[in-house]
């Protein structure tokens, strides 16, 4: 392979999907025959683990680069394959879309207003977009947003909802005003405990009186420096699909807390009770449950800070390269409200781990870039696993975490398949 081609590994039949299928070790030789190469660390395969190359959803040998993956078109729900998230700041075409209703149309930013009301404000106030820009200081932060159901496809038995794999996450640069500053301008009562947003998206039923989604966060989160009422993403107007002209952005929490097309925020004297705040929406059981077990509504808790997680963004799963050169591996790691202290990779199915270089976050709640170089002792099939550990010592699990009815918070190690020739 020429030096020119070293950063462009070819692709063999593999998959980024992580299904826990149960095969006996006696079939390993048949697997190696099917791959046309030995599974080098086969002796270290965890019990019950199936190599990625045999959980095939599509055939990357057709030479086509994977594009954005549409999970649903009514409403729009679209995710990125991991290799499209290699940018340090995610650009618009590669940002996942998670909608609950129909995107509003014919928006006029010049007439758009934001009203701050609710039972726990001194007096309701309404601001135009120009008011927000002129009255308050603007701030810019890189903020990580991840769908609470990112990784849902890994759960078995399957959990209901869009079957996200790994790509319902991104880190963009947001510009706007601090929600805290606007709340102070309105005036808060002493009993304020929560905020709830309302957007202009339309209900799938077409009923104009039905609210699609209205979630919120506690006052402590609402008043963080990085919680913004934003009008710009990556230095430009927020794209329509992502909330133009105004969006609430609460980095590090489920992206559903960051309301799109926001036109009203209520300050509440109780936990906000809008649509998608109750039942099992963005909530998980307070205790471990068996797969498929029914859980009473009172035994669920609201998801707040997202768990520690990492993503391999280069190379793509299925990379094939020559043994004579090192393989550069890189990606991102994040940990909700926490920071990431360490990222490690394994090439022997988690038996041993190698530390990676890890950058500090640009600012709090931004993801962190990691990278390393790997050498392989012999030709054959390998997997690269990535594991992040947060600043409290909590590490990603190697296997799918405990099942929950909606398949939230899957932060198992990300894996890619590679073939050394």
* pLDDT one-digit tens code per residue, 332-358: 999 999 999 999 999 999 999 999 999
pLDDT for position 65: 52
Give all domains of the chain, ordered by start, each with its CATH number.
3-65+306-420 (2.60.40.650), 95-277 (3.90.420.10)
Q: How far apart are CA 240 and CA 246, in angstroms?
A: 10
pLDDT for position 1: 40
pLDDT in tens, 387-403: 999 999 999 999 899 99
Residue 413 phi, psi dihedral angles, 5° rounding = -55, 135
pLDDT at 3 over 90: no
Report which of 30, 83, 66 is spatially closest to residue 315, judged by C-alpha positions. 83
pLDDT in tens, 55-100: 544 433 233 455 889 898 889 899 999 999 999 999 999 999 999 9
Report which of 135, 97, 101 is spatially closest to residue 116, judged by C-alpha positions. 135
- The maximal CA–CA distance of the chain, rounded, in angstroms, is 73
The answer to whether the predicted template modeling score (pTM) of the entire model surpasses 0.75 is yes
Q: Which helix (H) or strand (E) holds 195?
A: strand 194-199
- Burial classification of residue 364, based on how many CB atoms lie within 10 Å of its CB (0-12 exposed, 13-18 middle, 19 or more buried): middle
Q: What is the mean pLDDT of the chain?
A: 89
Question: Buried (b) or exposed (e) across 130-163, using 16+ Cβ within 10 A?
Answer: ebbeeebeebebbbbbbbbbbbbbbbeeebebbb
What is the token pair recorded at 206? 């077409």
């Amino acid at each position: 392979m020429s030096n020119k081609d070293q950063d462009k590994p070819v692709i063999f039949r593999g998959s980024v999907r992580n299904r826990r299928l149960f095969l006996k070790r006696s079939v390993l030789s048949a697997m190696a025959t099917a791959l046309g190469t030995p599974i080098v660390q086969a002796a270290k395969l965890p019990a019950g683990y199936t190599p990625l190359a045999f959980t095939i959803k599509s055939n990357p040998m057709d030479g086509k680069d994977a594009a954005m993956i549409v999970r649903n078109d009514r409403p729009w729900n679209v995710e990125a394959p991991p290799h499209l998230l290699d940018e340090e700041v995610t650009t618009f075409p590669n940002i996942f879309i998670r909608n609950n209703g129909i995107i509003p149309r014919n928006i006029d930013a010049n007439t758009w207003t934001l009203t701050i009301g609710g039972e726990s404000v001194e007096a309701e106030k309404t601001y135009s977009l120009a008011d927000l820009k002129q009255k308050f200081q603007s701030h810019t932060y890189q903020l990580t947003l991840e769908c609470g159901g990112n990784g849902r496809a890994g759960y078995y038995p399957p959990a209901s909802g869009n079957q996200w794999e790994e790509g319902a996450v991104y880190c963009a640069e947001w510009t706007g005003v601090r929600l805290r500053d606007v709340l102070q301008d309105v005036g808060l009562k002493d009993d304020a405990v929560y905020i709830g947003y309302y957007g202009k998206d339309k209900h799938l039923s077409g009923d104009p009186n039905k609210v699609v989604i209205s979630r919120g966060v506690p006052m402590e989160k609402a008043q963080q420096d990085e919680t913004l009422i934003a009008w710009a993403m990556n230095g430009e107007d927020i794209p329509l699909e992502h909330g133009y002209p105004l969006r609430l952005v609460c980095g590090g929490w489920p992206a559903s807390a960051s309301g799109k097309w926001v036109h009203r925020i209520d300050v509440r004297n109780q936990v906000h009770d809008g649509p998608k705040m109750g039942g099992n929406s963005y909530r998980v059981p307070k205790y471990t449950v068996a797969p498929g077990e029914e859980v009473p509504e009172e035994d669920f808790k609201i998801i707040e800070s997202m768990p520690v997680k990492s993503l391999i963004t280069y190379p793509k799963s299925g990379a094939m390269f020559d043994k004579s050169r090192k393989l550069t591996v890189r990606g991102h790691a994040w940990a909700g409200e926490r920071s990431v202290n360490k990222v490690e990779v394994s090439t022997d199915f988690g038996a041993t781990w190698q530390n990676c270089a890890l950058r500090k976050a640009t600012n709090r709640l931004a993801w962190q870039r990691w990278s390393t170089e790997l050498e392989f002792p012999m030709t054959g099939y390998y997997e690269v696993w990535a594991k992040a550990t947060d600043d409290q010592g909590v590490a990603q699990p190697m296997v799918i975490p405990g099942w929950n009815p909606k398949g939230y918070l899957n932060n198992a190690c990300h894996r890619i398949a590679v073939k050394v020739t």
